[in-house]
Chains A and B, each alone.
Chain A
Amino acid sequence: MHSFFQDIRYAARQLRKAPGFTFTVIVTLALGIGANTAIFTLVQSILLRSLPVADSAQLYRIGDDDQCCVEGGFPGSASDTGDFSIFSFDLYQHLKSSSPEFQSLAALQAGFGGWNVRRGNAAAKFLTGEFVSGNFFHTLGIVPFAGRLFSDSDDMPAAAPAIVLSYRAWQGEYASDPAIVGSTIYIQTHPFTVIGVAPPGFFGDRVTDNPADFWMPLNTEPYVDGAETTILLHPETTWLYLVGRIRPGVNLPALQQRLSATLRQWLATRPTLTANGGATLIPRMHVVLTPAGGGIQNLQQQTGKDLRLLMILSLVVLLITCANIANLMLARATTRRAEIALRVSLGAARGRIIRQILTECVLLSLFGGTVGLGIAYAGSKMILALAFPDAINLPFSASPSLPVLAFAFGVSVCTGILFGFGPAWLSSHAQPADALRGANRSTRDRTTLPQKSLVILQAALSVILLSGAVLTTRSLLNLEHQNLGVVTASRYVAHFDPEGAGYTVDRLAALYREIEERFSALPGMAHVSLAMYSPLEGDNWGECVIQQGHPAPRHGDNCGSTWERVSTGFLDSIGVPIVRGRNLSTQDTAASPQVAVVNETFAKKFFPNQNPIGQHFGIGDPKYSGSFQIVGVFRDFKMNNPRDLVRPVFLRPLSQRFMGYTDPMMSTIELQSMDMNALVFDFDHPPADVNSLIRHTLSDIDPNLTVRDLRSFGDQVAGNFSQDRLLARLSLFFGILALLLAAIGLYGVMSYFVAQRTSEIGIRMALGASRSSVLRLVLRGVLTQLAFGLALGLPAALLFGRLIASQLYSVHAYDPVPLLCATLALSAAALIAGLIPARRAASIEPMQALRSE
C-alpha cells in the first residue's frame, strides 16, 4: 500500500514537471471521455433506465411493438406479422380475467396528448393527460405523495370523475398548492376531482419527451370524449397498452403461449374481424411478453439505433484519443529511457516499472475524466436540446447521475490502462546497458513501429468517422432538400382545441366560418385554412378505401389511404396545386353531393389507367363505396413521414358531413372528423408580430379559444428531422474531432521524428541534401503512414456505411463521395500536420545539427 501511494506521489510529481504534456493529455482525454459520457448520459436516460417503481423487474408488457394510437381491425403490422401489441378495452378485460399469472394487469393509453385544463377562474392550460386503468398505480407499486391514487372503484362507469396529478404538474402548474387534493379541475369543460398527487420522480409508464401531467381512469373516456365519439366501448377499437406484474415463478414462455391462445379465442368471436378473410389471419395472431421495467419502449425503439450508433462513434473517438496519448507516452518514454534504465539497473522489477507508469496514466485519465464530466454536462444539454427541440417536460436531464458518474470513472480507468499499458510494457523492456551508454556512434530512427502503427490506426479510424459524418450529413441534406410537395415560406401552423373550449358539434360549423372570415381579413393574409392535421406534424387518419363496385378488401389487403377533413383553402394554404379537375370550394355544401379531392398516388393506386374525376369511393364497408365523388386531383405531397413514399391521400370538405353511415363506429369516426385541430396561415408578407396577431385574433373570436402551439410551417417540417440532424451533427463533430486528433497524432510523431533525427538530417545536409530533399524525406514519412491509414480505413468505412445503411435517406452505403471527402480531409490534415515538422527539419542548420550529436 505504501508503494502504491509512493507511485501516486511520484506520478503527480512527474506530471507537475511536464505541465505542457499534462495539459495536452488532460484536454485530449477530457474531449474523448466527455464525448462518451455525454452520449452515455443519453443512453442511460433513454435506453437503460428503469421506471422509478417498485420491483420493476417483475413488470412485463403484453406486446413489443410501437403500435399507436387508435386502430380498427387488426392493428398496425399485425395483419402481416401477427404481432398484437395494442388492445381494446374489451380485449383487455378478457385477458385480465383469464390471466391469473398476473398479480395485476393494467391498461394504459397508447397515445396520449394535450387536454384543455382549467381550475376555477384561471385561464385554461394545455396539459398532457393519460387514461389508465384503476389498478395502474397499484400495478406499478406507486404510493401517493398526497391524497390517494386510483383504485378499481374509481374506474367504474358510475364512479365520480377523478384525476391524479403528477408531482411536477402540481409543483409547476399549481404552485404546490396544498389544497389541490379535493379541488375540482375542468378537463375539456368536464369537472374532475383531484384525488391525489403522484410521488416526485414518477413520470409515468414510459420515457417520453412529454410525459403525463395527470392521469384519468379509463371509464372517464366517454365522459370526456362524449357518448357519441367514445372509443372505450368499441370492442374492436384498439388503443391500450397492457403492463402487468407477474407472480413469482411463472413460466414466461408458457404464459406467452396461453395469452396468445386467449387472444385468438377472443378474435374468433368478433364478426367484423373474422369477415373478409380475417378468420384465416387469426391462427398466426400472437402476443410477445417483454420486460417492462423500463416502461413502454416506444422512444427506445425510435431512438435506439441512433443512440447505439452514436455510442459506437464516441467509442471510436475514445480509441483515437487513446492511440494519440499512447503515442505521446511512447515519445515521453524515450526521453525517460535513461531514468527507467537506471531504475532497472538498480534492481526494479518489470512489473514495478509497468505499475509506476500505469499509475501515472490512470492519474492522468482521472484528471481527464473529471474535466470530461464538465464537457459531458454541456454536451448532454446541447444534445438534449437538439434531440428533443419540442420537449415540454423531459423526464431526464443532462446532470450526471450516479450511473453516469460510475461510467465516467470506469471509462477513465480503462482509458488510462488502455493507452498506458503499451508504453509501460515497452519501457519496462528497455535494455539498461544501451540506455546508460549515452551518445550513439551512429544515428538511428527511434520512431518506433508502435508509434507509426498508432498513427495509422488513428488515420484509419478517422476515415471511418469522417466517411460516416459525410454519409449522415448527406442523408440529412437529402431529407431536408427533398421535394416534399408543399411550400413552407411565409406559412404558419397553429393548433387549437375547440372541444376543449366547450364547443359541441352543432356549434362548430359557425365557429369555423368565423375563424376563416376573421383571419382572412387580416392584413397580408393570402390563405387561411382549417384541417384535422397539417402536413408533417406527425399525425394522420387512415382508412381502407373501397372503390364503387368493388368487393370488400380482404384483411391484409393494401387498401389504406390517409384522409383529412379540411376547409376549402387548405391546398392553397400549403402551396399544393390541383392538377386535374377542381379544388374543394364553397359550392360543396351540406346539401350538395359528397365530394373529395385525391392526390396523384391515390388516383394511380385506386383508379389506374382511368380518369379519376367523377369516380366514387367510400371507406369501411362496400355498402359505403359510393359515398364520395372525386372532383379533383392534387399534386402529391408528403403528409406523414418525410422518409416514406407518398401515400394515397383524400381530402373531404369541412362543410359536408356524411349522414349515411349505419354502423356506430363509422358514425363516430365521421363525427370525430369534424374536430379541427390545425390552422394553417399563408401570408403574402408575414407581419413582424405573427404570434400575437394570431393569438389575439383567436381570443377575440372567443376568449376560451387558446393557441396550443404556433410555429412556422418550416419549423414544423424541420421538426421531422431532429433525430437525423442530431445524428448528422454529432457524427460531424466526432469526425472533425477524430480528424483533429489524428492530425495532432501525426504532427506529434513527425515532430518527434524530426527531433530524433536532427543529427541525421544534419549529416544528410552535410553530404549535400538540399532543403527540398529534407522536406520530401519528412513528408514521405507522413504520406506512407497516411497511405497505410487509408488502405485500412477505406474498406472499414465501406463496411461501416453498410452497417448504418438503414439509417440513411437516399444515400447509398457504397457512395464514393464520403470516401473521397474523408480521403481529401485526412490527406489535407496530414499534409498540414506534416508540413510543420517538415519545414522545421528543412530549416535545420547542418552545423548546429552536427553539434547537437
Chain B
Amino acid sequence: MTTNDKMIEIEELTKVFYTDEVETHALSGIHLTISRGEYVAMSGPSGCGKSTLLSILGLLDTPTGGRYRLNGKPVESLSFGERSRIRNQEIGFIFQSFNLIGDLTVEENVELPLTYRAGMPSSERKKRAKEALERVNMAHRMRHYPAQLSGGQQQRVAVARALAGSPSILLADEPTGNLDSKNGEAVMHLLADLHREGSTICMVTHDPRFARHAQREVHLFDGKVVSEDDLRKLTEEVEA
C-alpha cells in the first residue's frame, strides 16, 4: 500500500471532554488508517467513542491530541473555514436521523452542499443532484418534501445528498438506526453498491449484521481500538 492510497491516517488521537470538574476521555490514543476504496465499519458498545471518532474524521470536531492526515494533508488544526471547505468537497455525511431540511424539496436538499461551492452554475448543481438521486432510485421523488417520504426513502435521499458532491469518503453514522430491518437492509445494499463502484466508506454501527457488509471491521472499547477477541473478552468482563 502506497502513501497515496491512504485516505485517512490517524496516530495517537485523543479526545477529552471537560464538563465542570469531570474529565471524560472519549478517545485515548487511536491509531487508524483507511485506504482509498476501502469500506470500514466501526463498531462497539454505546459510549465507546464511535460517533466521536466519526465526527473527528468528518472534521465536525477537533481532536484534543494526536495527528490526523486526510489525503496526506494534516487537518487536525485547520481553521473553521478550511474545515468547512474540506467537509464540503471531500466528505459526504449520512446521519442516523437523516437530517434533511423540511422546508426544502428532495432536489433542493441534495443540491444543498453544492450551493456552498463557489462558482458552480445552477444547471450543473441540478444535473449532479439528479444523477445522485438516480443512483439511489429517488429521482421520481425530487419535487417532494421530506415529510412526504418514508424513513427508508428519506435515508436514500440523505445518501444521495452525500454523493452529490463526489466526496473522497462517505461517513455514515448509524445509517440504519432509525429504520426498520427491511429498509435498513436496503440502505446497506445501497452502500455496498456504492463501495463496489469505488466509494470509500466509513460506517459506524453497533449492529454486527450490518458491520459484516464492510470489508474491515474496527472495534472500539472505552475509546481504544481493540481486536475482535479482546472486545469479546472485555465485553464479557463488563457483563460479569
Contact = CB atoms under 8 A, between A and B. Distances in A.
A275 interface: no
B151 A441 contact: yes
Interface centre among B80, B99, B117, B165 (most CB of A within 10 A): B99
A440 B154 CA distance: 12
Interface in B57-97: 58, 60-61, 80-81, 84-85, 87-89, 93, 95, 97
A846 B95 CA distance: 13
Interface stretch (B100-108, B135-143, B191-199, B216-224): B100-108
Interface string B156-190: 00000100010000000000001000000000000
A591 interface: no
Given A759-B99, A766-B58, A768-B88, A442 B116 contact: no
B175 to A, nearest CB: 13
B113 A767 contact: yes
Contacts of A631: none
Given A445-B103, A759-B99, A767 B116 contact: yes
A441 B178 contact: yes
A186 B55 CA distance: 99
A443 B80 contact: no
B115 to A, nearest CB: 8
Nearest to A843: B80
Interface in B26-58: 55, 58
A431 to B, nearest CB: 13
Interface in B199-235: none
B78 to A, nearest CB: 13
Contact of A771 (B58, B80, B100): B80
Contacts, number: 79
A186 B72 CA distance: 110
Contact of A768 (B55, B99, B116): B116
Nearest to A765: B84
Contact of B97 (A439, A765, A847): A439
A768 B60 contact: no
Nearest to A440: B102
Given A441-B154, A764-B112, A847-B61, A770 B102 contact: no
B112 A442 contact: no
B147 interface: yes
A98 interface: no
A773 B113 CA distance: 12
Question: Which of A442, A444, A445 is most buried by chain B, counting CB atoms within 10 A of its CB?
Answer: A442
A443 B61 CA distance: 21
B87 A766 contact: yes
B101 to A, nearest CB: 5
A444 B161 CA distance: 17
Contacts of A143: none
Contacts of B60: 766, 846-847, 850
Given A768-B113, A769-B116, A445 B102 contact: yes
Contacts of A773: 116
B102 A767 contact: no
13 contacts: A441-B154, A442-B101, A442-B146, A443-B99, A444-B102, A763-B101, A766-B58, A767-B93, A768-B88, A768-B89, A769-B84, A771-B81, A850-B95
Interface of A: 439-445, 759-760, 763-771, 773, 846-847, 850, 853
The 9 closest A-B pairs by CB, nearest first: A768-B88, A444-B102, A442-B146, A767-B113, A442-B100, A768-B116, A763-B99, A442-B102, A847-B60
